[in-house]
Amino acid sequence: MLRHFNLDVMRRIPSTLGGVIRVIFKCLQGLRNMVKKMRLPCGLRVAFIFITALVFGSDQTFSFESNPPAYTYRDVNIRKNEILNHQIHEPFPETQCRTEDYRDPCILGLLNGALTLFYEEPSASNVRTANGYLRAAVTRLSTSAGLTEFHGVRAGLLFRTLMFFGKNGEKQAGLIDPEIEAAAIRIFQKWAGPTCKIKEASREDVWSIWGSENHGAQRDATCWSAARLSMMYPEIGEFKYEDNSNAQEQKDAWSKYLKIYIKSRARNGVLIEYFSPTYAQYTLSPFYNYFDFADDSDLRRLSQNFLDLWWATWAQEQIDGTHGGSKTRAYPSVLANGSPMRLAAFMYFGFRTEIKLAPGQTPAITSAYRPPTVVADIAIDKKGRGTYEVRTRAPGHQYVPFYNNWYDIDPDAHDIVRIAYVTPSFIMGSALYPKKDVKYWSSISCQNRWAGVVFEGDGSQRVSISPGSSQSNRSNCNSFWSVQYKSMLIAQRLSSPYGVNVGPMRIWVGPSFRTSKCSTWTILEGNGYVAIEPAWGSMFPDEKNPNFLALSDSEAPVILQAAERSEYRTSEDFCADLANLTLRISDGGIEISHKVENRSVIFYTRSQRLPKIDGVEISLNEDFVFRSPFIRLSRGGAIVRIAKDGKVLDLNFE
């Protein structure tokens, strides 16, 4: 609301002329840094720039409108080496084991350490250390029987290490001790034998999910990896699965299944656990392995397309590397600074962050995959992007309740619409969905949903709707519902039967805001403004954690109104504009209207009626999957178009 009622996306240069100008500009800009390092007379410098630019061009991609930082593979590789060097000198997780148990967290540290030592500095000393790490990990993993949720990330790292540095290594063959290598192959066979079944890989229903979305993706990947490795190492001996299938049959079946999986996910909004700060890395890591190591060219292509699409959707909903769109499975531990794939985003796009190589992101850091230039431009060019809205559908409804560790998801129930309102200085994000019994939703969709606003900078200036849990150390599910209109968000806590394990309503507030009062509003001032008020009752800092604001009545809807700092000279000016908003409370709900702009939002608090914007009920049944200035896919379509400033990329998921 407020001034964002009338903001339009920044006007662009016409595509043909703009394209020519951008090509010339990027050549000159790309060579400038090179010439600065050369000791040439001024005249020669100028000549060198023009001649070389005309003959050779440049691999840098720029947006002419706002001149964001460069995106080159060279810069990406420099940042990759920085990450790997840091990991070698400060291993994470720790490599010191406390038990002989295959669940000891040290195994991830050992596998992470081995892969990075082999990858970055394969000196004789480091190869010995890496093999020592690998031996310790393999020894512990060999004590487990069958594939469990503990093995997903471990299997991905071990597979990547074998494919890079085993006897047929694609990066440097023969670095792994043959005894360790053979033991590792047998572990994959031990895991896969009783678990990986042709009948599961042969089904075309890719929406039956084992464990959770990230666990299921890793389980599928381990089955595929085990078959791939068994075929590459015939000297280990012929391997038969418990269902009497062989490795060739398994690999063919899982490759076919994965191609259907990728196509269906892309055509239905990508992921159920959308942008989880914790779990996105684990869901994505298998696709990096498919991209790097699949011997099926179509699986490689689809995996690349899938990663392109995920990074494009991330790019349009982030600011300075921090994701600001809606999320699910965003636990209290990530409210302060959590953002999915943050370290990989630093490597690709240069958004500085703490360097700590979580094992789930190691496949991305060591992969040959690079986001296309159009995606990089969307990510980096926050000023040139202008102000715009993103709408994305997401699956979440389950056919039947969770049973025997399996979810059955309905991909055709397109009743979650994710919204992000993006400006050059902040992003507000939420998800629209109907007020339904919690049993309607899969827990991997409704668990710890996130809605709020993130401001530019290091990502610490953020506000989010964060109801607690009624049971300590437990997640909640379907804890609130909401409506968003541009830079205004209204959210209300949901209790049983709509929500489960839902504690009191709370609002998370980052620590670096300056706080003031404006009538009934609390104003937070930082790299922008956000005003917060409950529809009724009072709001105050939580006694146990002052970063949370608590309500005197947890059933009261909470209203957030954000604005760019450039819109108002002071917080007093922002306060004065808030006076144009009128709040009306009735038995059925609340209505917020703007006195000047004749706009309104109605939010129903005591029924399941969908909210209204300007008198029209919001629609959850429209004909798009992705709709923004940069990403488009119609419902039922298969070709996703990604475009910005004349650069176009079509991703085919037919």
Domain boundaries, given as residue ranges, for the chain: 10-56, 387-652
DSSP string, 420-447: EEE-SSEEEEEEE-----GGGB-HHHHB
What integer pLDDT is reported at residue 48 of this predicted model?
39
- What is the SS3 assignment for 481-517? EEEEECCEEEEEECCCCCCECECCCEEEECCCCEEEE
Kindly tell me if the per-residue pLDDT of 147 is higher than 90. Answer: no
Q: Which of 303, 325, 280, 376 is nearest to 649 (CA)?
A: 376
Q: Is the predicted pLDDT of residue 60 greater than 60, yes or no?
A: no
Q: What pLDDT sits at residue 150? A: 61
**Of 159, 179, 177, which is closest to residue 220 (Cα–Cα)?**
159
Q: Which residues make Cβ contacts (< 8 Å) with residue 489, sequence separation at least 6?
A: 428, 430, 451, 452, 453, 465, 482, 483, 559, 560, 561
Tokens of 95: 């490599």
pLDDT at 34: 43
pLDDT at 301 over 50: yes
**Predicted local distance difference test score (pLDDT) of residue 9:** 28
Greater confidence (105 vs 625) lies with 625
Report whether pLDDT(44) > 50: no
pLDDT at 354: 92
Q: What is the pLDDT of residues 461-502, one digit of tens each?
A: 999 999 999 887 789 999 999 999 999 999 999 999 999 999
DSSP strand pairing (426-432 vs 398-403): unpaired
pLDDT at position 352 over 70: yes
CB 640 within 8 A of CB 270: no
Which two three-digit tokens encode residue 269?
């909004």
* Mean pLDDT, all residues of the chain: 89
Residue 124's pLDDT band, with cuts at 50, 70 and 90, is very high
Which percentage of the chain shows pLDDT scores above 70? 88
Q: What is the arithmetic mean of pLDDT over 21-28?
A: 42
pLDDT at residue number 203: 84
Look at residue 13 and tell me whether its pLDDT is greater than 50.
Answer: no
Residue 647 vs residue 147, higher pLDDT: 647
Q: pLDDT (tens digit, 9 = 90+) per residue, 76-95?
A: 999 999 999 999 999 999 99
How far is it, in rounded angstroms, from Cα 122 to Cα 124?
A: 7
pLDDT for res 23: 40
pLDDT score for 38: 44
| Residue 472 confidence (pLDDT) | 74
Residue 587 has a pLDDT of 87
pLDDT digits (tens, 9 = 90+) for 493-532: 999 999 999 999 999 999 999 999 999 999 999 999 999 9
Report which of 575, 601, 607 is spatially closest to residue 588, judged by C-alpha positions. Answer: 607
- Distance between CA 535 and CA 488 in Å, rounded? 14
Question: Three-class SS of residue 202?
Answer: coil
Q: Give the global pTM.
A: 0.88
Lowest mean pLDDT across 17-26, 172-181, 277-286, 555-564? 17-26
> What is the rounded CA–CA span in Å between residue 589 and residue 75?
53
Looking from the CA of 515 toward its CB, the CA atoms found within 13 Å total: 13
Give the 3-state secondary structure of residue 17.
Answer: helix
Binning pLDDT at 50, 70 and 90, where does residue 7 land?
Answer: very low
- Give the pLDDT of residue 88: 94
Which pLDDT score, from 0 to 100, does residue 69 have? 53
Between residues 353 and 5, the one the model is more confident about: 353
Helices then strands, counting H and E runs in the chain, come out as 18, 28
**Mean pLDDT value of segment 334-360:** 95
Measure CA of the first residue to CA of the last residue in the chain; give whole Å.
40
Residue 313's pLDDT is what? Answer: 99
Given a cut of 80, is residue 50 above it in pLDDT?
no
Cα–Cα distance for residue pair 35/18, rounded to 1 Å: 26
